[in-house]
Amino acid sequence: MPPSPLADFRRYAALIAPILARESEFSDAAESATAVQIERGAVLPLMLNGTNLQGLSRVARLIEITRGGRLDTIAVVDRLGHHRPIYRPLLVYAWLSAFSLRYEDLPREEFGRWEEALRAWCDLLEAELGDIGWDRTSAWAARGSSAAEACWIAVALQRAGKVYVRDVWIDLASDLFGKLIKSQQPSGAFLESTAADSPEARWFDELAILHASAAYAALAEDRTVATAVRKNTEFHLRETQPDHATAQPFGLFAFIWNQQTRLLADAMLNHASMQTQLDGVTQILLADVTQCLRLFEV
């Protein structure tokens, strides 16, 4: 008898655990008065299996920033100082996920600080989603980074809507992903492209959208989005080379979810296992995959 899907998910979670358990140093060398690092989102892997002081300290500056106002002037960069549009919503999503997992264990003072600060960051994401305008950015790969940003904002707002019992955020997320699946191409791609588009840049945006969409489908238990996710994983299996687009495991949970595309998942995990020190985005993504796999335990 073949193993059950749940057994497969447990096996992949067991493969990810030792990779995430590696000690990773944090340096704020790329931060400034107007920039914070995406590596602070590693609060999620730090607190995935329990509350710890390192996890609490990792977000201290994110809390302090909310007291100075004008969050929209703060850039989110990686440790090398590079910026991507998805970094801000990915950072907030990771922090929200850690809060959702550990709010009952937080010291009372920390609970209040996290709750208040996260709400401010989510208000900013809501405003930014309105500014992006999905209908103006989803139809071509040249604006794929904006489409990916919109999807990561939406999955963060889905998480936030559950945390804060705020239906408007859940509705915004549902509307965004509804538009996404309506614009999906016959090939399974989420983005329409032209011959002038860079394949590697387009593949990265597709993978970033895929990861956010799979997380949303699992969190919201949305079968329609899950079907779109499956089609996109098969598009990648047939037509792209994910390892040429990024060394980070974007889309990993989606590739695990579809038994037909686990070859891509295995390649991503093999690459991560060979890294002596994981970058912050990889840590966040692996932790997110773990929490998505755990949703199927319920």
Which tens digits make up the pLDDT trace of 251-271?
A: 999 999 999 999 999 999 999
pLDDT single digits (tens) 181-213: 998 999 999 998 887 788 999 999 999 999 999
pLDDT of 3 over the 60 cut: no
pLDDT single digits (tens) 104-121: 888 888 999 999 999 999
Confidence of residue 22 (pLDDT cuts 50, 70, 90): confident
Q: How far apart are CA 297 and CA 292, in angstroms?
A: 10
Burial class (CB in 10 A: 0-12, 13-18, 19+), 15: middle
Given the structure tokens 């891509």, which residue do they identify?
A: 264
Contacts of 298 (CB under 8 A, 6+ apart): none
Question: What is residue 92's predicted lDDT score, i.e. its pLDDT?
Answer: 98
The per-residue DSSP string of 184-246 comes to --TTS-SS---TTS-HHHHHHHHHHHHHHHHHHHHHHT-HHHHHHHHHHHHHHHHH--HHHH-
Q: How far apart are CA 280 and CA 94, in angstroms?
A: 11
Confidence of residue 1 (pLDDT cuts 50, 70, 90): very low
Judge contact between 252 and 266, C-beta under 8 A.
no
pLDDT single digits (tens) 143-171: 899 999 999 999 999 999 999 999 999 99
Question: What is residue 134's predicted lDDT score, i.e. its pLDDT?
Answer: 62
What class does CATH assign to 28-185+196-288? mainly alpha
Provide mean pLDDT across the span 72-91: 96
Question: What is residue 271's predicted lDDT score, i.e. its pLDDT?
Answer: 96
pLDDT single digits (tens) 274-286: 998 899 999 999 9
CA 17 → CA 10, 93, 138, 273, distances in Å? Answer: 10, 20, 35, 10
Q: How far apart are CA 191 and CA 206, in angstroms?
A: 7
Which DSSP letter does residue 71 get? G
Q: Which two tokens stand for residue 31?
A: 């931060």
pLDDT of 139 over the 80 cut: no
Judge contact between 97 and 288, C-beta under 8 A.
yes
Q: What is the mean pLDDT of the chain?
A: 92
Q: Percent of the chain, pLDDT > 90? A: 81
Question: What is residue 221's predicted lDDT score, i.e. its pLDDT?
Answer: 96
Q: How far apart are CA 10 and CA 12, in angstroms?
A: 5
Given the structure tokens 């990686």, which residue do they identify?
A: 78
